[in-house]
Structure 1
Amino acid sequence: MNELPTIPEQNAAAPDVVPPAVPAQPAQPGQPATSAAESFGELLQRPLSKVVIGFLLLFAALAWSTHNRITNLRYDVARSLQKGDATSNETSALARQVQEQTKELQAKVGALEGRQAEAQSQQLALEQLYQDLSKNRDEWALAEIDQVLSTASQQLQLAGNVQGALIALANADRSLSRTDKPQFITIRRAIAKDTDKLKALPGIDMAGVALRLDNVIAQVDTLPMLSDHRPVAPSELARKTAPASGKPGAPGPNAFTTGLQQVWTSWTGEMWDEVRQLIRVRSADTPEALMLSPSESFFTRENLKLRLLNARLALLSRNEAAFRSDLIAAQDTLVKYFDTRARTTQAAQATLRQVQSNNLAIEMPTLADSLNAVRTYKAKP
């Protein structure tokens, strides 16, 4: 293979040739000595020096440009970090909210699964019970009464279904009365005792309260809001202030004067009404309620409806805390965003106060006496 020719280095060993010494020229009298400025000028005239200086200037320009870019980049990075911190905080808040909602949903799902498992176990127990029942009519009737009372007791504790429990007790007593056997007297006495307990509970007109809430929900769209008020149209003012026309003036020399007086009165009345419409002083605890856009007003009404619907659901499930919380929130919304001087709003507030006066925190009795009496009789040999 052909080898590349080697380039001799500049510092390679060269024949030791010593240039002849140039004798120093003595300074001629009258010849001025070269100054530093002239030396620098001669240095600038050299081509290599010009190139070096050009590179230095170019390097300085690049350094200055790089410095500016780095500074701008720092500012951009700082702004991005600030935006990222704000976004991270919002994301963290949303994540915490989602976690809380997830925990609540998991708790509800767990409760539903527990109830479903309980219902399934009861169903399996009922099926097994029916399979193991003998042909004895009394045992079959007692098993049916036990299941009915168990279901009524669960409905009474979970949903406060007093009427359902009373119907179940009445059906059980009716089934036992058909057999007409003295050994069932103890069970019927326990059923009568539980029936008296349920009848002694303070009555709550659930249907009536729910109907009042439905009426308020239906009126939400017609309730006047603080942001709905607008100045009266000039045409309406003209109709209010215009004198009665079509009546002939009184004959006589004062007809012209009377006409001028009527025209002047009409003009001054219209001007005064227009001036009154320019400035309107109203007191509002929340100034933002006066500046709601149509879409915000729509969503405010929808939120009020949702609050009332939640209160209705809490009423039917006898959830005292949720019932009162939703009613208080609905009343606060009425006071904050709606015109409380309007009769319809005042009527809605009165209805909500009347609904809120109902006490749902009633401790429901159990059907333990009847269930224990039935199960004790079944356990006898």
Structure 2
Amino acid sequence: MHRPAPARVGWLHGWVAWAALAIAIATPAWVLPRLGGIQSEATRRLQGSDQRLTRLEAALEHAQSQLRDTQSRTAVLESKMLETAGLQAQLEKLYRSLAEDSTDVMLAEVESAVALANQQLALGSSPQAALGALQEIDARLARQDDPSLGGVRRALLGDIDRLKAYPAADIGALALRLDGLIGTIDQFPLLASVRAAVPPGTASPPVSAGSGAQPARPRRPASAGDAASRASDAAAAGLGALRDELQQLFRVRRIETPDALLVAPEQAYFLRQNLRLLLLNARLALLLRNETLFRGDMERAAAWLRNYYDTEHRGVANAGAQLRQMLGAQIALEAPTLAESLAAVRAARAAREAREARR
């Protein structure tokens, strides 16, 4: 073995020792500043984290405050919604109540209108007026659009069809003709007041030999034949004039009631009033469509006219012809009724009142 080997090993160990010592001395010098930087950075970051945590806590508190405010507002909104729902329910109930009240009022008005039209028909009014009233009522029910009123509309439509098919008698025209006759009664002459009247220019005095008028003298003497002819013509003319005078003085006619000639002038008023009352009663029976009373009063009026009035007078003859013509009119048409519509309206009102009573 060689000796230098231990010396080299020792030297190597020495260097290692010195290197380790240097490293041991240098390490703290290098590590401590870095540790200080790391600590300062950690402190800075910790402070930043604290600040962020503080901000987060503040934000969380603000969020919680907003949440609480939102919750309180939500509670207020829910209460408002509940209140609104309650008000809406009340409004709906009020609307239904108003609608029902409106329907009740409308049904009452419809019943009144149908009853009035039915009464007018019973009194002899024109069916056209009742037809117009029913059509207006049906249009009003159609605008209402209430399914519960379907039965009322069906009854109205049935009565409307019956009124359209009804053969309307001209009662109004007959009543107007009777009014015209009643207004001319005062112009009718009575039999007791008839006097012979000579029309102007119809009677001429007969020509006689003793009259003051002298015929013109012929230029030549007349023969015996001419004289006899003139005498015959004069006699015929005289007899004709005498006959005309006698016809004006005496009138021969058949009088069925001789008492009519004995009527005093002060009784003429009562005769005219009696005829007027007969015609007024006939007019009332006509409007009531009572054919029996109408014909009875008309026949009595015609007989009264024949017995007490001068039937040769133009006005009296015209009145008698009108009475006979009106006696031939057919008025025995049964007046239509609106009983079906009236019953349907009353049934609808009773059903609604029963529903209201059960509530």
State the TM bucket, normalised to the shorter chain: 0.5 to 0.7
1:162 paired with 2:127, answer yes
Q: Distance in 2 between matches of 1:165 and 1:174?
A: 14
1:302 paired with 2:273, answer yes
> How do residues 164-243 of structure 1 correspond to structure 2 at under 5 angstroms?
164-233=129-198, 238-239=203-204
Structure 2, unaligned runs of 5 or more: 1-95, 208-212
1:290–1:148 distance in 2 versus 1, CA, 3 Å: same
Per-residue deviation at 1:264?
4.1
Q: Distance in 2 between matches of 1:159 and 1:207?
A: 9
1:138 paired with 2:103, answer yes
What is aligned with 2:286? 315
1:156–1:237 distance in 2 versus 1, CA, 3 Å: closer
Q: Distance in 2 between matches of 1:230 and 1:348?
A: 21
- The answer (yes or no) to whether the contact 2:110–2:137 under 8 Å persists in 1 is yes
With 156-165 and 201-210 compared, the bigger mean Cα shift is at 156-165
> How do residues 1-381 of structure 1 correspond to structure 2 at under 5 angstroms?
135-136=98-99, 137-159=102-124, 162-233=127-198, 238-239=203-204, 253-254=221-222, 257=227, 263-277=234-248, 279-378=250-349, 379-380=351-352, 381=355
Point out the structure with the larger helix share: 2
1:191–1:207 distance in 2 versus 1, CA, 3 Å: same
Q: Distance in 1 between matches of 2:218 and 2:305?
A: 54
What is aligned with 1:72? none
Instruction: Name the TM-score, length of structure 2 as normaliser.
Output: 0.57
- The answer (yes or no) to whether the contact 1:226–1:338 under 8 Å persists in 2 is yes
Instruction: Name the TM-score, length of structure 1 as normaliser.
Output: 0.54
Root-mean-square deviation (CA), in Å? 3.6
Partner SS, residue 238 of structure 1:
coil
Deviations 1:144-203 (A, max 9, x none): 212221232233335556344323312211211222444433322210101122233221
Identity of counterpart residues, as a percentage? Answer: 40
Say which one has the larger Rg.
Answer: 2
Where relative contact order (Cα < 8 A, 6+ residues apart) is larger, the structure is: 2
1:154–1:264 distance in 2 versus 1, CA, 3 Å: closer
Q: Distance in 2 between matches of 1:344 and 1:135?
A: 66
Per-residue deviation at 1:351?
1.0
Per-residue deviation at 1:299?
2.6
1:205–1:145 distance in 2 versus 1, CA, 3 Å: same
What is aligned with 1:113? none
With 310-319 and 139-148 compared, the bigger mean Cα shift is at 310-319
Q: Distance in 2 between matches of 1:217 and 1:248?
A: 60
Structure 1, unaligned runs of 5 or more: 1-132
Q: Distance in 2 between matches of 1:360 and 1:312?
A: 12
Per-residue deviation at 1:220?
2.4
1:193 maps to a residue whose letter is: G
Q: Distance in 2 between matches of 1:240 and 1:218?
A: 42
Q: Distance in 2 between matches of 1:185 and 1:336?
A: 62
